[in-house]
Amino acid sequence: MAILILPPQLANQIAAGEVVERPASIIKELVENSIDAGASRIDIEIEQGGCKLIRIRDNGCGIAKDELGLALARHATSKISSLDDLEAIVSLGFRGEALASISSVSRLTLTSKPENQVEGWQVYAEGRDMLPTIKPASHPIGTTVEVLDIFYNTPARRRFLKTEKTEFSHIDEIIRRIALAYLNVSFNLQHNGKLIKQYRAAESEQQIEKRVAAICGISFIQKSIKLSWQHDDLTIKGWISPNIGQEQLQYFYVNGRVVKDRLLNHALKQAFLEACKSSVYSTDEGLSYVIYLELDPRQVDVNVHPAKHEVRFHEARLVHDFVYQAMSMVLSAENGYVLDPSSN
């Protein structure tokens, strides 16, 4: 067979395979865009577990009229422009693929108004139609992305969608994850016309604890020990708690992005096993945690996988030992106190 360059639509659909697995992954990409746009409020509306409709509205910086079409194009991004930028990522997005991918497998409408523009504008891209149409539309400052009928044109993938309930639980989980990372952004989630979740922006310590309790459960925050340590460019903060009931909550953020990392898991586990030797904690209980690690973006590579759950640290050993030490310190300092039920 002759070698052909794939038409853009097909190329986008292939790329969509990597980031658009289900409604929850679309919501992840869109909410991350809103956060990158500096939004302080994000409203998420879904119907039928997101399979019928996903609508995300933010009050971020918006997109200028003449860039709306570009936003939908593949490899089009405002977040990096050079290899230098790629090596020091400070935004959640940078691949310029999400909107192109999502619009290749759904009916996507993008409406936006930046602060310095008199009126809002809207582009609509449906599946095969690669030239989006643009028209004026009223909109407050910010952006709304509406995604209808996911996978309507890729039936093989549509078949992998699960029940409304299952898709909803994935969405709920994604929103919890992001809401935990961006405590100063307010989130509202509506499902089938009903307000289901509301996480208010938290500033004060008290508000933050309230918000974490709303996301992780009151007993998590009550039983947890606070973690806060800094060394050179490395900062670690958060809460750790011996398991509460059966549910294990494990969220580890690196520069605002939730990651699943072997090295970090190892550091946490080692510190916990050590602490268990002093018999206050029990290994049977396992550990729940919400931990935020911040470091110089030049020290971590997030461009490992399209979904960006994996990272690579340039100085892996250093990061490992830092996390291990911070954990060990806080676990031993709190020995004998945390598990005393009368202290709660």
Give the residue at shortest CB distance from Mg ion. 93
Residue 261 touches which of Mg ion, ligand ADP, none (Cβ within 5-8 Å per kind): none
Which of 59, 104, 143, 288 binds ligand ADP (CB under 6 A)? It is 143
| # chain residues binding ligand ADP, by CB under 6 A | 23
Contact 339, 242 (CB under 8 A): yes
In the bound state with ligand ADP, the residue whose beta carbon lies nearer, of 73 and 264, is 73
Which of 15, 16, 51, 61 binds ligand ADP (CB under 6 A)? It is 61
Max intra-chain CA distance, the chain = 75
96 is a contact residue toward ligand ADP (CB under 6 A): yes
The span from the CA of 272 to the CA of 3, in Å, is 55
Least Å distance, CB 306 to Mg ion, is 11
Least Å distance, CB 170 to ligand ADP, is 19
Backbone angles phi, psi at 107, to 5 degrees: -105, 105
Residue length, the chain? 344
Least Å distance, CB 124 to Mg ion, is 19
The span from the CA of 14 to the CA of 148, in Å, is 19
- For residues 148, 153, 154, 157, the Cα torsion angle rounded to the nearest 10 degrees is 30
Count CA atoms closer than 13 A to 286's CA, side-chain side: 11
Stretch that binds ligand ADP, among 45-53, 91-99, 126-134, 270-278 (CB under 6 A): 91-99
Residue 269 touches which of Mg ion, ligand ADP, none (Cβ within 5-8 Å per kind): none
71 is a contact residue toward ligand ADP (CB under 6 A): yes
Q: How many CB atoms lie within 10 A of CB 181?
A: 18
Q: DSSP string covering 26-86, please?
A: HHHHHHHHHHHTT-SEEEEEEEGGGTSEEEEEE-S----GGGHHHHTSTT--SS--SHHHH
167 is a contact residue toward ligand ADP (CB under 6 A): no
Which of 43, 97, 164, 167 binds ligand ADP (CB under 6 A)? It is 97
In the bound state with ligand ADP, the residue whose beta carbon lies nearer, of 86 and 208, is 86
The span from the CA of 136 to the CA of 155, in Å, is 33
Q: Which residues bind Mg ion (CB under 5 A)?
A: 33, 93, 98
Least Å distance, CB 280 to ligand ADP, is 45
Tokens (6 digits) for 344? 């709660």
- Cα end-to-end distance, the chain, whole Å: 70
Stretch that binds ligand ADP, among 8-16, 88-96, 238-246, 252-260 (CB under 6 A): 88-96
Least Å distance, CB 321 to Mg ion, is 33
Helix axes 316-333, 262-277, angle to 10 degrees: 30
Least Å distance, CB 16 to ligand ADP, is 11
Residue 71 touches which of Mg ion, ligand ADP, none (Cβ within 5-8 Å per kind): ligand ADP
109 is a contact residue toward ligand ADP (CB under 6 A): no
Q: Where does this chain bind ligand ADP (CB under 6 A)?
A: 29, 33-34, 37, 58, 60-63, 71, 76-79, 93-100, 143
